[in-house]
Structure 1
Amino acid sequence: MNFFDRFEKENLLIAHRGYSAKFPENTLIALENATTYADIIEFDITFTKDKKVVVIHDETLLRTSNAIDIFKNRDSYFVCDFTYAELLTLDFSSWFDKNIPLQKILLLEEVLELSKKYNISLNIEIKDMSETIFDEFYVKEIYYILEKQKMINEVLISSFNHNYLKILKAMDKSISTAAVFWESVPNNLLEYLKLLEVDSYHIDLSLVNKEQIDILKEKNIYTNIYTINKKEVQHSLYKNGIKAIFSDENLKYKY
């Protein structure tokens, strides 16, 4: 069954990194607030030096934490060069709004528990670690965490690194996946996506092609668009066959 077939709604709203327009992205407060309106919450994960799977978008800590103040003169501020214990000492909210309660970095397991608590579906985007020593090991570790939490069939896994999707499908055909594209898509898109065995593919607005959307939908592959923050664009996309849009805003849509 396609991941999106579980929803009774024809069109869906995905909270991009939680309610990231109002709260610091990928933090507990952003994710919890997104449960009040979103159909699905999207968040990003990567690996720490001591092989913990943590929730953060960027490959470095510079934009969304105070790492440069706490760990002065470090040679590297890449997430994968810090231990989980080190990351726990950092502030992941003040960069966004100093009035928001202190937010710490989350583990993947904590977001899975949040999903169970609020009965909210998840889209987990795996960040590319192909230039690190972890790479495929990291992807397999994510699978084992999902398996342990009995969440294999409750999440959608997406990535720009399509080899990661192949690895997951080789491990378990039942896992739901989505290929993410930026700037361009393959000429033989349908064949490519069928080879990957994905449930959907995620593109930006510039790549929207109505004919392509319809062809893929006939083959039970849905098209989802990132990142849409205007209601009029949201409504237009839904009318043109888009299954879901990613948004930083609460664009709750009346179906």
Structure 2
Amino acid sequence: MHIRPAAATAGALVGLTAFCLPAAAAQAADHPHRPVTVAHRGASAYAPENTVAAVDAAHRMGVAWVENDVQRTKDGKLIVMHDTTLNRTTNVEELYPDRAPWKISDFTLGEIEKLDAGSWFDAKFKGERVPTLERYMDAVSHNDQKLLMELKSPELYPGIEAQILRQLKEEGWLDRQHVKHRLVLQSFNGDSVKKVHELRPALKTGFLGTPAIADLPKYAKFTDQINPSYKTIDMAYVSAVHAFQGAHGRPLEVYTWTVNDAPTAKKVASWGVDGIITNAPDVVRNALKDSGFLVPAA
């Protein structure tokens, strides 16, 4: 079965009235539970995204969950970066002016480690580096944080699913405690999510996108979360997703992105989402706390 790399949102909300679960929605409103707050690329409103500085910023705020993006260099090393090119968040154009379009896959790790990944955000972060996945994981482990890891554009990096799993194992992140409570792998590429599930069935996975309701049963065979943009969903969609059991026999979860203001955080929380991915985790967390959303039982 081939799953589209990014499910089209067109038609995703068609027929939701038939799938809406009024009783469940009413129960969520009467007994509001606070969604998990996830620091998007770290606390990226306050430090350069996908850097150790952003991980540490989230830690100082007391935010347990961070999200990142993993890609592969020309010489086969795993690094943490969102874009498939280096020029937006580093000084690669200055150091390597003749190597446009500056694709990650065209640079070795040694070349990438020379780049400044902080000055573009704020001069006080000058000298911040693009982290290897190993260095990034060391920081997350040191802070006792949890990780929502995105396989970014895995179609560009054949075999990256198995490579990431090997790295996670080396870092001690595939033991029972991490797999059950501290780690989720997600991607916009459904085939990649399916591959992760096949290679490591116990691992929790998420699909990034807004699949049509009719397509949810096939996703539910290999994923535990449907993680859409908040702009593409409503309460009916969240309730419809929750009606399906995911790969591990529990209701599919919804982690929505990227919510950076208090009113939107309160709105999506009222829809019953399970997680909110945000550049400003302090803003989201405080909004939910002030609105009376309850911390879920452990």
TM over 0.5: yes
Q: Displacement of 1:76 after TM fit?
A: 4.1
Matched, 1:167 2:195: yes
Gaps of 5+ in 1: 1-8
Deviates more, 1:44-53 or 1:151-160: 151-160
1:65 aligns with 2:87: no
Question: Is the partner of 2:255 in helix, strand or coil?
Answer: strand
**Which amino acid letter does the alignment assign opposite residue 190 of structure 1?**
L
Q: Which amino acid aligns with 2:198?
A: A
Scaled by the length of structure 1, what TM-score is found? Answer: 0.89
Q: Which has the larger radius of gyration?
A: 2
Matched, 1:193 2:224: no
Question: Higher mean Cα deviation, 211-220 or 138-147?
Answer: 211-220
Indicate conservation of the 8 Å contact 1:190/1:216, yes or no.
yes
List aligned pairs for 1:17-96, cutoff 5 A: 17-35=41-59, 36-96=61-121
RMSD of the alignment, in Å? 1.6
For 1:188, what is the secondary structure of its paired residue? helix
Tell me which amino acid in the other structure corresponds to 2:147: L
Q: Using the alignment, how far apart are the partners of 1:63 and 1:75 within structure 2?
A: 12
d(CA) in 1 for partners of 2:140 and 2:278?
A: 19
Report the Cα offset of residue 193 of structure 1: 2.2
Match of 2:266 in 1: 235
Cα distance in 2 for partners of 1:122, 1:148 equals 16
| Structure 2 partner of 1:244 | 275
Provide the rounded CA distance (Å) in 2 between the counterparts of 1:95 and 1:212.
Answer: 38
Superposed displacement of residue 213, structure 1? 1.5
Match for 2:229 among 196, 199, 204?
Answer: 204
Identity, in percent, stands at: 23
Q: Which moved more, 1:107-116 or 1:78-87?
A: 107-116
Deviations 1:201-240 (A, max 9, x none): 1111222132232233243111111111111110121121
Alpha-carbon shift at residue 192 of structure 1 (Å): 2.7
- Find out whether 1:145 has 2:176 as its counterpart: no
Equivalent of residue 226 in structure 1, options 251, 257, 268: 257
| Residue identity matched to 1:16 | H
Moved over 3 A (4+): none
Cα deviations across residues 1-54 of structure 1 (Å, max 9, x unaligned)? xxxxxxxx7411110111111111111111111122323100111000111110
Give the distance between the partners of 2:101 and 2:237, measured in 1 at CA. 43
Letter of the aligned partner of 2:82 in structure 1?
Answer: H
Aligned equivalents of 2:34 and 2:241: distance in 1? 16
Q: Distance in 2 between matches of 1:15 and 1:32?
A: 11
Out of 49-58 and 107-116, give the one that drifted further.
107-116
Question: What is the total number of aligned residue pairs between the two structures?
Answer: 241
Distance 1:22 1:224 in 2: 22
Higher strand share: 1
CA distance in 1, matches of 2:230, 2:206: 17
Q: In the TM superposition, what is the alpha-carbon distance from 1:115 to its structure 2 partner?
A: 2.1
Structure 1 residue 94: Cα displacement: 0.7
Instruction: Kindly provide the amino acid, as one letter, of the partner of residue 122 in structure 2.
Output: D
